[in-house]
Amino acid sequence: MRIICYLNEKSVPVLAALTNEGLIYSLPQKDFLELAQQAKDQSISLLHFVESAISELDPIPKPLEQLSLLVPIEAPEVWAAGVTYEKSRDARNYETTDQIIGSATFYDKVYDAKRPEIFLKSTAARTVGPNDKVFLRNDSKWQIPEPELGLVIDSRGEILGYTIGNDMSCRDIEGENPLYLPQAKIWRNSCSIGPAILLSEAVKNPYQFEITCRIYRNGEIVVEGRANTRQLKRKFDELVSYLLKDNQIFNGTVLLTGTCIVPPNEFTLADGDQIEIEISDIGVLQNTARLAKAVVPNL
């Protein structure tokens, strides 16, 4: 069972349940957090709460492909874990050592350390959803998407569901100096999530998600990569536990769990590139990369 949010014919956001059969049921709750809270108040699982609710409803007549999807949750904060896959460690080493393959750096220590790397990635105002534009920094010449599985958690760290995240990153800025990490990770429209939240109770094994990333340029695939969450060095509960240490976490926070798909070292995103991130059982997150200077800022 997945939860989505879409705009109806009156341009009003609607929360909905999406079944494995592709049927869509509009829900009365205003957002995912209200849905989760009502299930909690009734002391039943979120999955059973949704299943019970849609048993008395009729599906909407439109298929998913015809809906204008929004972010499935207005996450107050999006956090991210770094160097959780071997591929990510190797890419960070390459960036940091004047692009020498196989060199060791402090990222090897991070990969093997007890404490994981966790950093603030985005806020609700900086996060976009399916089919929205993600921006490219004007002061970077080496930018890539980072396809990641996202954990939707509550304030206690309970994993409510899983979503897809695009952790846009500047490899040159991060490689120049690790203290530049916030600038390499955080800017306007530098994070996207969606298109759905797969309820955690519907997942038998979260370490079997297939992840695929495709990048199109002028209609042709220029990058394609695949990975699986079984390649993760760390467990999800471990990452969440460190995020919660002496930290106030808000209901609906999203924690991105790291990337194992890195485009070829000579690749950088260009204005107009189409990015597709697919994770099994969740869906496909699509975004277009645009140069920030070509976009009129919101006033």
Would you give per-residue pLDDT tens digits along the chain (299 residues)?
999 999 999 999 999 999 999 999 999 999 999 999 999 999 999 999 999 999 989 999 999 999 999 999 999 999 999 888 766 666 666 667 565 555 557 666 777 778 999 999 999 999 999 999 999 999 999 999 999 999 999 999 999 999 999 999 999 998 888 899 999 999 999 999 999 999 999 999 999 999 999 999 999 999 999 999 999 989 999 999 999 999 999 999 999 999 989 999 999 999 999 999 999 999 999 999 999 875 555 54
Beta bridge partner(s), residue 25: 17
pTM above 0.85, yes or no: yes
- Give the residue carrying structure tokens 């106030």: 248
pLDDT at 102: 57
Whole-angstrom Cα Rg for the chain: 19
Q: Is 38 exposed, middle or buried (0-12, 13-18, 19+ CB in 10 A)?
A: middle
| Gap between the Cα atoms of 284 and 212, Å rounded | 9
pLDDT at 144: 96
pLDDT at 299: 47
- Give the residue carrying structure tokens 């930018």: 143
